[in-house]
Chains A and B, each alone.
Chain A
Amino acid sequence: MTAAALTGLAIKKSFRTRMSVFTDACDFCAYYKREISSLKTPLDEILRAYCKEGKGVFSGIMKKYYAGMSVGFCNAEEVLSDVRSNVLRDEDNLIIASFLFALGKSDLENEITNIKRYQDVFEEKKRKYESDLNKKGDMYYKLFVLLGITLMILVV
């Protein structure tokens, strides 16, 4: 029963982690936009400051990206192979890799437009995982507890 309950909790936690990744991604977009729109701060300085203070899965992804930036990435797939996170779905990993690959590649006006677009995508993902956490998270937890009880009764 304990194992089933823990499985239910792990599923719930994965929804929470995904939600927090996209919450942090939205916050990063806001921070990045603020830094470049008034100060044109170079990307490496922004990432250095962000990685110093940031915690969590998204910050871990950013640290991996920052570490590989000096070598350079030819395309989003190369970024993906460096920053892939096991807690995220493939499509989410790809969105984040594309976002990272696009950073710093255009002039100020287009960079801000791009960031706004990605911020909207991240907001939508965040809302989806928030709703999954509230609806499915509890459901999976209860379902696995029930499954554990059923198995226990069957065994007894």
Chain B
Amino acid sequence: MDTDNLFSLLPLTFYPLLPDKISELRMRVGKPLYCFDGGKWFFVREGDKPYVVTGGDVAHVLGRASGYSLYSVTDNLVKGFITWKGGIRIGVTGECVSDGDAVFNVKYPTSLAIRIPCEIKGQADELIGKIVEGRKFRNTMIVSPPAGGKTTLLREIARAASVKGLNVAVIDERSEIAAVCKGEPTLDTGPSCDVITGVSKTRAFEMLVRSMNPDAVITDEIYGEKEVNAVLDAMRAGVGVAISVHAETVGALKDTVYEKLQKAMDVTVVLSKKKRPGEIAEIIEKC
């Protein structure tokens, strides 16, 4: 857990209040600071009272994360997030400026969900035997509820496949898998891995398949029909994929756009966070 990067993002007043181990922080203007240490959620206390988050605290975090320049993060902000060093993702909500479905800006950001990524090296070592056969990468889907450990597992799959010598390409739309900072991955994705970031998944799939000749493309959180079609298109082109979708179980994908995608997969890994995030509940292999 990269607390150095986290503390460089937060207001100075937070330093003495926070524990050493933090997985997630919730900042809501006028509400107590809420923290998850990997085991339990608790309100951060200042003396005997909970610390109440101010508008200035939220503005400070957004200012730091954007390099004090709204123009550099507007594209991500309207999708609801900004990424900070080390793959820290800051989810942003508040009063948005929109026209129909198109969001132009977040006028008054009032809530932030700050999530710190963790690296669990070796997490995919057992799984990789089912996914990589020689130079063939079997199409894999990870099914997990939010905060279930999808991204960590995908990063490990990328690293393990890369170590096995496959040319792996990671589409890191939210800079969470590889935590790219100034073009360079700051989290380990292995020796033969290319990372594309700052571009939509649909566009990135096209760019990678047509220009990078990857053995496998790995990406996180497939959402909506466009992205499903982009994945199916890459699979049709003969590229192996490893993707993740949000769901509690495979059954929950029934009658959704993700059902046909799941049916096309060679391996489906279901994660559960009942005991701990990243726990593999089920592996479904296509015969």
Please report A residues at the B interface, Cβ cutoff 8 Å: 36, 40-45, 69-70, 72, 103-108, 111
Contacts and interface: CB of A to CB of B under 8 A. Distances in A.
Contacts, number: 47
Interface in B77-106: 104-105
Interface stretch (B64-72, B127-135, B171-179): B64-72
Chain B interface size, as a band, is 10 to 19
Contact of A111 (B63, B67, B71): B71
Interface in B35-68: 56, 59-60, 63-64, 66-68
B74 interface: yes
A136 B223 CA distance: 67
Contact of A106 (B59, B60, B68, B71): B71
B60 A42 contact: no
B60 A36 contact: no
Nearest to A48: B67
A72 B63 CA distance: 8
A89 B47 CA distance: 48
Nearest to A32: B69
A43 B67 contact: yes
A23 B169 CA distance: 47
Contacts of A41: 72
B94 to A, nearest CB: 16
A107 B67 contact: no
Nearest to A108: B71
A43 B70 CA distance: 9
Contacts of B105: 107
Given A42-B69, A103-B69, 14 more contacts: A36-B71, A40-B72, A41-B72, A42-B66, A42-B67, A43-B67, A43-B68, A45-B67, A69-B68, A72-B60, A104-B66, A104-B70, A104-B72, A111-B71
